[in-house]
Amino acid sequence: MEVWDPESSEIKLLWDEIPPEVGGSRGLSDAKMTTISGGSELIVYGGWSGREVSGGIWKYSVIGDTWKR
């Protein structure tokens, strides 16, 4: 998962493989993402893993570098 950092004008790699992609054949396409908590957390939902539609909602903590369903 890569995101654009507007403060540094750079693309940053957050994670090599996000939880909804595990076991998928093509990564997670067509997922949606939004920030919460002043940008310190990201919500990822929806998407297609190459074998099924991801119905889960995942939260990524930038500070803790952790995912939670």
Structural domain of 62: 18-68
Strands 10-13, 2-5: pairing is: antiparallel
Domain count, the chain: 1
In a domain, 4, yes or no: no
Question: Has residue 1 been placed in a domain?
Answer: no
Residue length, the chain? 69
* pLDDT band at residue 36 using 50, 70 and 90 as cut-offs: very high
Across residues 29-36, what is the average pLDDT? 85
- Nearby residues of 66 by Cβ (< 8 Å), 6 or more positions away: 60
- pTM attached to this predicted model: 0.65
Query: Tens of pLDDT along 39-53?
Result: 899 898 877 766 666
pLDDT at 37 over 90: yes
Average confidence (pLDDT) over 5-19:
80
Is 25 in contact with 16 (CB distance < 8 Å)? no
Asked whether residue 30 is assigned to any structural domain, the reply reads yes
Query: Does the residue 9 lie in any domain?
Result: no
